[in-house]
Structures are given as structure tokens and as C-alpha cells.
Structure 1
Amino acid sequence: MEVWLSLWPVGVCGLLLIYFYSVAWLRPESIRNKLRQQGITGPPSSFLYGNSLEMKKLVMAARSRGGRGVEIKHDYTPLVFPYFERWRKRYGPVFSYSMGTVVALHVSHPDLVKEISLCSSLDLGKATYLKKTHEPLFGEGILKSNGVSWSHQRKIIAPEFFSDKVKGMVDLMVDSAIPVLRSWEETVELGGGTAEIKVDEDLRCYSADVISRTCFGSNYIRGKEIFLKLRALQKAVSRPNLFAEITGLRCLPTKRGREVRRLNKEVNSLILKTVKEEEEEEEEGDGREKRTSQHSLLHAILRSANNSVAYTHASDSFIVDNCKNIYFAGHEATAVATTWCLMLLALHPEWQARARAEAAEVCGGRSLDAHALQKMKALTMVIQETLRLYPPGAFVAREALQEMQFGGIHIPKGVNIYVPVSTLHHDATIWGADVLEFKPERFARGIMGACHLPQTYLPFGAGPRTCLGQNFAMIELKVILSLILLRFSFSLSPNYFHSPSLRLIVEPEFGVKLMVNKA
């Protein structure tokens, strides 16, 4: 007995090591072998790290060779994703690679992309890679949930982003833009008629204010407080934690872990406090407050959660998670897209003048409304071309939650499918020889007329999980851009340094500086 007891810890450690080796190597290698048997190869993977170290090394080498600076090249893929450039040339448009222990399938063949986009099976869901690490940010909200849970949430939230409801938010968006416009006017006046303005943070503030007002109604000031804490939470959990993803152990007593738990608790508390105030306003029935509350997304989510049998027992987490999801989906990406639009308009004064003249003609001195925005065809083309050259999302990412088949390829359960959006958007065989030029006129006849493979235009994702807020984002972009164009003219500052960088989304690493004048 004593011998057995003395050997017991050794046996447990041995079992743990066997389990760890199985998870870290045997399981992913088995998946890679199944893909190799179908002719799908890729760069050789190393134990535990997969291809992560090689990817990091290639990025560092690409940046050391240059590619950043005053010269503006819209094809940023060789700088931001040099490993994909190398592997595509070596292995073709479909190949496998590994991120740690996660096996990924890179898919940039248009026919296969189309088939994946058209798939409506719940067995093809959002990637669960890093889900444990990112759980404080997204929880089980619509961005990360899968299966029946995702389908149910979409039915609840989607109607709140229908075009008729979004059109009613134009006045709110205009109100959010006023502080930015006034700040720029004051800066230009102080500069004697011309001023250098770094636009990034102002546009983030505008986008955050829009989401705050639409999500929290009359409580948008508290909404801003929530979002500041969410940004801090985002920074705290943004670095991948390989140990957590392999073992599932996230709640370790580290300084970073304590900070994440503290911020998450504070965010959850603030959101639930706002929910309680919404409910109290509804019960009191004050006319002004009630009307404001009913126009907020929070109220719609609250009403839907309380009316849902499936979520009555968990309505608090449902509300909290989806408020976080709406913020992340609608804040950063829209602000960065606006920044790229202004950069491109600054580079192309002819399109800037055309869009300004159109806005002036459509508005005719009247207040901006949804009807006027609908008439802004030139501005729509500018936005669509910007989203082609600088798509906010670097990938459309999906995971095979069960064994699946696309284009004759058998995809094992657990494989993460990555469709590289910028690769498709910058492909000359799809868009023509002028693919790397800023030419909004290519969208004069819409997306169908812009290229012969419309399924490869993916600024808002693809398939059933296409971004719910794309109408919201397009109107938000039109509002801020048209108001800026009506009041200002601008060119790129000589201090602008062109360096697209991947930080969850592709954004200007050093921001965008413009020389701004009154229009």
C-alpha cells in the first residue's frame, strides 16, 4: 500500500503529460495528416507553437526591409501577412498551417469561398480559438456563440438593425458628430485657417458616442464609462495565452488575470445598473424618458430577453454579453473605416471635390436625413472602394464544429477555416489590372458590376453570419463623412507615415494626420 501511495503522484503526473502531449501534438497532427491525404499541404509545424514562430519571424523581416513610410502602397498584404504571401506561392490558394495547437485551413480559391459563404449549416460556426481567453470580452454573445444559441440571438437582435430602424437614428448620429466638427473648426481657426489634425481619436470618440446613444439611450454618458472600461479590458486580454488555450486554465492568480477579472466585474455591474434604470423608467412611464428608452438597443435587448422563454433564467448574462458584442462590432471597425476613407479622399482631391459637391447639392442647406444620405451615390462608391482596399476585418473565420465537406475537401472537426479578405480584395484576376488603384467608379453599378465574382467582396463578412450592423455602419460612415466634407477640405499632412498594421483589425499604425481647411 505504501509503495502504491508513493507511486500515485508519479502516475498522475505521467497521465497529465500523456494528456498534454495528446492535446498539444497528437490531435493536431492527426488532423494535418487527414488533410495531407487529400493533397492539402502546408508549412511544417513545430511542437506546441505550430507555425506561430515562423509567422512572427516573417513579419519582423518584412518590416525590417521597409514597406512603411511616405510612399503609399495599398497592397499591404506583403507587409502585414508576409507568411500568407510566401505560403500561397508555395502551396497554392488552399493550404493548412497551425497556430499553436489549432489547425487552420487557408482558403482563397473563389469557388471554395463561394461555397463556404453559402453554407447555412449550424455545424459551421465562429472559431472557438482563443474563446476562453476572450470570454470576458464577448461571453456567449452573438459574435462568439454557435449553433442554436447563436440562431436564437440573431432572431432577437437582427430586427433592431433593419434599415427602417437604422434610418431613424440619423439625427442621433448627427448630434454625436457635432462635438468633433466644432473641435476641428476651433483648431483650424486657431491655426489661422489651416491646421494639422490627427483624426483617429476624434473618430473613435464619435463612433463610441453613436454606439453609446443607440445602445443606452438617455444613459449614453454611463455608456461612455462602460466603453472606457471595455477598452481597458480589451488591452488586458488581447495577448494570446497559449497555456490557457491548451489547458483550459484561465483563472490563474496572475496580475493580468486579476486585472481582467476586476475590469470584467466593473463592466458587468455598470451594464446591469443601466438595465435596472431602463426598467425603472419603463415602469414610471414618463413620456420623454420612455420614448428615449424605447429607441435604445439596450431596451430592445432587454425586452426580447424578458420575453424569451429560453433566456428568462439567464437574461442578465444575455444582456451583458450582447451589449459588449454590439460595442466591439460597431465601434472600432467603423472608426477605422472612416479614418481610411479620409486618408484616401485626401490623396484624391478630385473625388473629395465630387463627394463634397454631391453632399452640398443633396442637402441644399437642409438638415441631413436618411433620404439625403440615400442620394449620395458618389460617397457610397468612395466608402465601398475604401472597404475593398482596407477591409476592417482581416479574415472571415469559421470553425468546422462537425466533420464537413466543401469543394470535395473533407474537413475534419475542429479545423479553423480562414478566408483572407485582403487577398481576395487585392486579386487582379477578380478585380482587373487596376486592382491596387483607388477607383470608386468601379462600384458605379453596385457590387455586382464591380467584379465578376461578387462573393469575394467581404467587408462585412460572409454568409448567414454577415455583420448584422452593416446598414448601421454604412449610414454612420455617410453621416460623419458628409458633414466633414461640407465643412472642411483637407490633404494629407507631410508628417503622415503610411503603415497599415494588424491590431485585431487593420488600422494605421501611427494614425492619420490631415492638413485641414474650411471648405
Structure 2
Amino acid sequence: MVACFSFLFPLAPFFVTFLFLILFLEQISYLCKKRNVPGPNIVLPFLGNAISLVTKPTRFWEVQADLATSLGFSVNYIIGCFIVFIRSTELSHYIFANVRPDAFLLVGHPFGKKLFGEHNMIYMFGQDHKDLRRQIAPNFTPRALSTYTALQQIIILQHLKSWERLSSESPGKPISLRLLARDMNLETSQTVFVGRYLSHEARDKFRDDYNLFNTGLMKLPFDLPGFAFRNARLAVERLVETLGDCATQSKKRMSEGDEPSCLIDFWMQETVREIAESKMAPPHSSNVEIGSYLFDFLFAAQDASTSSLLWAVTLLDSHPDVLRRVREEVSRIWSSESDTLISAEQLREMKYTQAVAREVIRYRPPATLVPHIAMKDFPLTESYTIPKGTIVFPSVYESSFQGFTEADRFEPERFLEDRQEEVIFKRNYLAFGAGPHQCVGQRYALNHLVLFIAMFVTVLDFKRHRTEGCDEIMYCPTICPKDGCRVSLSRRCSRYPNLSLN
């Protein structure tokens, strides 16, 4: 055996030298891209600073933000990828405004195209993207949103009841809201988006597949049997197929003249009308494509909304004056004992509660970073050009703390009519993005948060169980309180509203 490999021994110095040469060239390549921009001068081979990003992500991005103070951006190196972190609001707008084939593509997730599939709004641009946004516009009209608010409230109320029961079963022992809120949001999304077209059995399978997807989202992209990423990719394929089948059922109902009862109905009603007028289907209207776009909506509504609900509870608990004002406003407009839903008009009257929702999203924007990839060398400033292939991270979080009066304070009053900071500092409010890919469902998301706050504080009393570091930011993948928002709950109203989906 020794004799068989003895011929390799003289080659060992060559291999060592070759390895050191590769590592040296990698370091030189990084420094050439970095130039004089703030960032680490020496990085680990291939891994770069991936270890610190994975083990302490909050601290990693805080360091990047500190480094970016002088120029408005900084650089780093992660798993073979050169990255640019954008702190400056104006530079972030510059990136958002240049999403096109010869500048930047929105990637959403480093391995998103493989995970989400080809038919995904994130990866669309130009006329195709404009056409699709035009087609989905009927999904978010005032009439459609009014339909959704009724569904949202009933699902929210059902889950608040179950949370209170769960808490009462273990008196003195707090419950974590993170997974509970995620389950509530998943059921809300299923009901609002595809309504009656998912059976109870299909909903259970849907939930299991979405959990597989959620797990794989934060794992390394090993597309091999048994690995979480492979399970997530296959789960997405099944979810898209299920949602595409819902679109088929909806087309049939809408072609028969039925009234829309969920988001897919409003979408298919318009699609059926276009087909009747032009005798051909509009672009991007195959069942697979519609299923994929519905999954985009689901993903956008799910984790971001969960993040905002958790931070709302956290911040209301730590700001009792804000909580008191919300309860006073809601009680003047809606009674939990009236057995009626909050109407669209009543929702508009809740000015302070809406201000609280907007401030929650500003203070803790769910998706703190919006990754893009540079498709070619792109001049970011007069003195620095982003190299082709760079992953660029405009920071929504950093922009949220720029411009606003005493931005480090949680202060809903900034969004009331006498201050109107959402108008004055509109460019810094980037939680819903900007440019051609700005979130089309932002009104729906805000309504959901306002409705949740109004019903949660009205029907329940809650006490946060605070521990050291419980309010620190945790990435999962959107940001949440580190402890998952652990609370004790008890019923505040004399009885729950008698409301149901039937």
C-alpha cells in the first residue's frame, strides 16, 4: 500500500504550493473588489465571514452598519460571494430603481430561484412584470380588501380563543406566540387567498409542506435526498400544484357568474372576463404560473406578518400608555360583545391604532435586508463601482432609523395627522420596498396588523414574561424577539363575539 502511494510524496510540496496560490489569489481578488471601502481586510478562504453571519447574524449586520457610517456602504465576503451592504437610504433607492437585466436582479433568497421555481414575481422585470402587476391589481381593490377583512377577523378571533385556552391550561407558565402566530397567519392566508378550494385534509397537508419549506429556507442548499433543502424544494412543488388546482376551481366558478369570496376569485374573475373579450388567455395565467404567484403571496404574507404581530405584542407590553390609547380608541368604535365584525369604515376610523401598526413596521421592519445581485459592473458612487456578481444588501432596517424625529423611540404619534412623518420622511419608510417591486399587498398587510392589534388588546389581557435579552432581534428568517414573545393570556371581555366563516 505504501509503495502504491509513494510516488505522490514528491508531489506534496507542489499541492501545498498550489493550494496557497489559490488562497492568495482569492484574497487578492477580494481586496481588488474591496478597494478602499470599509470592510474586513483579511477573510477566511471560501467561508469568508460566514461563521459569524450564521452564529450571530444580528451582530454581523450591526458591524456592517457601523462600518458603513462614513460612505453609506461597506463590504464583506461570504461563502465565495463578495457582498456590499447599503446603509444610505438614497443608495438603497438607487438600487431599487435599477432592477433590470443590465443592472440588478432582486434575489429575495441566495438560492431562491432553485427553491421557489422559475415562475416567481421576484425574478420578473420589465414589461412581463408590469403586465403581471396589472393583472393582480383587482386583488387589492377596496371591495376585495373589505372581503378579506371579514375573513381575517374570524380567523384571528378563533386563534385568540385557542391561545387563551392554552395559556389557562398552564397557569403561571408563559406560552411562546411565535409558532402560534405563524399557524394563525398560515390559516388566514389559506382562507383569504383560496378560501373554499382547500379541503380540511388539503389544509393539513398544506401546513406540513409549508413547514418543510420554512425549515429548508434557512439551511444550506444541498439538493440531495434527506437534506432539508431538497425537502423544501419538493414541498414548494406540491404547494404550487395545490394552489394551481385552486385556480382551476375558481375559474370554473367565476365563469358561472358566482360572486368572489377570496383573493383567487377576484383574480380569476378578471381573467375570465379578459378571456371572454379577447378569446385568448392573458399572459402568465396558466395554472402553474398562477399557483407560483399565489405561493409568492403566501410567502410574503406569512413570515413578515408573523414578525409584525410578535413585535406589536412586545412593544405594546413595554409601552403601557400606547396600549391604553389603543384600547380606548377601539372601545369607542367597536365592541367585542356586539357579535359584529369591524367594518371597513370603522377600520379607517382607528387612526391611532393604524399609527401604531405603521410604527411597529418602521421600528422593526420584518425583512431587514432586500438582497439583489449585480448583473454587470455598476457605478454606485463616483468613486466606487460594484463588481459584476456582487450580492448587494440594501438595508430597510437602517433606513427606518434615518430622518425620522427621535428615530430610536417607539412613537406612534409620528404618523398622526399633525406630524405626518410618513409623508415628510417617506423615502426612509422602506419596509414595503420601493421602485417596480414595491409590495403590491401592503394595504392588506397593514389591515391585518391593525385588525390583530384591535382584537388582541380588546378580548385579551396579556403579560410578557421578560428575561434578559428577550427583546434582542433573532433572524428566522424575518426578525422576531429572541424569546419568541413569551406571554401569559387571560380573557378580558365578558364573552367572545359569536362569529364564524359559515
Q: Secondary structure of the residue that 1:395 maps to in structure 2?
A: coil
Alignment pair present for 1:337 and 2:313: no
Q: Identify which of 324, 341, 366 aligns with 1:353.
A: 324
Aligned AA for 2:61?
F
Alignment pair present for 1:97 and 2:76: yes
Deviation by residue 1:126-177 (Cα, 9 ceiling, x = unmatched):
4448554652335431123344443333232244224442233211111212
Structure number with the higher helix fraction is 1
CA RMSD of aligned residues (A): 3.7
Deviation by residue 1:333-370 (Cα, 9 ceiling, x = unmatched):
11220111011111122111110110111226553011
C-alpha distance in structure 2 between counterparts of 1:199 and 1:229, whole Å: 21
Aligned AA for 1:101?
G
Contact preservation (8 Å) 1:217, 1:293: yes
Name the structure 1 match of 2:139. Answer: 160
Which has the higher mean CA deviation after the structures are superposed, 257-266 or 412-421?
257-266
Which has the higher mean CA deviation after the structures are superposed, 445-454 or 372-381?
445-454
Task: Report the TM-score when normalising by structure 1.
Answer: 0.76
1:114 to 1:367, Cα distance in 2 relative to 1, 3 A: same
Deviation by residue 1:365-415 (Cα, 9 ceiling, x = unmatched):
553011111111111121122112211011132233344334434334333
C-alpha distance in structure 2 between counterparts of 1:199 and 1:112, whole Å: 36
Alignment pair present for 1:292 and 2:261: yes
1:55 to 1:493, Cα distance in 2 relative to 1, 3 A: closer
Alignment pair present for 1:373 and 2:347: yes
Q: What is the number of equivalent residue pairs in this alignment?
A: 461
C-alpha distance in structure 2 between counterparts of 1:175 and 1:83, whole Å: 43
Name the structure 2 match of 1:68. Answer: none
Contact preservation (8 Å) 1:138, 1:144: no
Name the structure 2 match of 1:324. Answer: 295
**Which residues of 2 match residues 64-75 of structure 1 at below 5 A?**
none
Which has the higher mean CA deviation after the structures are superposed, 339-348 or 404-413?
404-413
Alignment pair present for 1:395 and 2:375: no
Measured after TM superposition, the shift of residue 31 of structure 1 is 8.0
Measured after TM superposition, the shift of residue 88 of structure 1 is 3.3
Q: Unaligned stretches of 5+ in structure 2? A: 1-17, 493-502
**Which residues of 2 match residues 213-252 of structure 1 at below 5 A?**
213-220=191-198, 221=200, 222-223=202-203, 225-241=205-221, 250=223, 252=224
Contact preservation (8 Å) 1:199, 1:512: yes
Contact preservation (8 Å) 1:216, 1:297: no
Alignment pair present for 1:417 and 2:358: no
Name the structure 2 match of 1:444. Answer: 416
Q: Unaligned stretches of 5+ in structure 1? A: 1-17, 61-76, 245-249
1:223 to 1:300, Cα distance in 2 relative to 1, 3 A: farther
Aligned AA for 1:353?
R
Q: Identify which of 446, 455, 470 aligns with 1:474.
A: 446
Aligned AA for 2:416?
A
C-alpha distance in structure 2 between counterparts of 1:41 and 1:416, whole Å: 16
Contact preservation (8 Å) 1:167, 1:370: yes
C-alpha distance in structure 2 between counterparts of 1:97 and 1:410, whole Å: 15
Contact preservation (8 Å) 2:400, 2:429: yes
1:54 to 1:207, Cα distance in 2 relative to 1, 3 A: closer
1:196 to 1:278, Cα distance in 2 relative to 1, 3 A: same
C-alpha distance in structure 2 between counterparts of 1:233 and 1:54, whole Å: 24
Q: Identify which of 50, 53, 59 aligns with 1:52.
A: 50
**Which residues of 2 match residues 7-46 of structure 1 at below 5 A?**
33=32, 36=35, 39-44=36-41, 45-46=43-44
C-alpha distance in structure 2 between counterparts of 1:116 and 1:129, whole Å: 14
C-alpha distance in structure 2 between counterparts of 1:237 and 1:458, whole Å: 23
Percent identity of equivalent pairs: 17
Aligned AA for 1:320?
G
C-alpha distance in structure 2 between counterparts of 1:305 and 1:238, whole Å: 40
Aligned AA for 2:318?
L
1:297 to 1:28, Cα distance in 2 relative to 1, 3 A: farther
Name the structure 1 match of 2:437. Answer: 465
Task: Report the TM-score when normalising by structure 2.
Answer: 0.79
Q: Secondary structure of the residue that 1:458 maps to in structure 2?
A: coil
Q: Secondary structure of the residue that 1:417 maps to in structure 2?
A: strand
1:517 to 1:132, Cα distance in 2 relative to 1, 3 A: closer
Contact preservation (8 Å) 2:465, 2:486: yes
1:494 to 1:404, Cα distance in 2 relative to 1, 3 A: closer
Measured after TM superposition, the shift of residue 261 of structure 1 is 5.4
Deviation by residue 1:437-461 (Cα, 9 ceiling, x = unmatched):
2221122248852696431222112
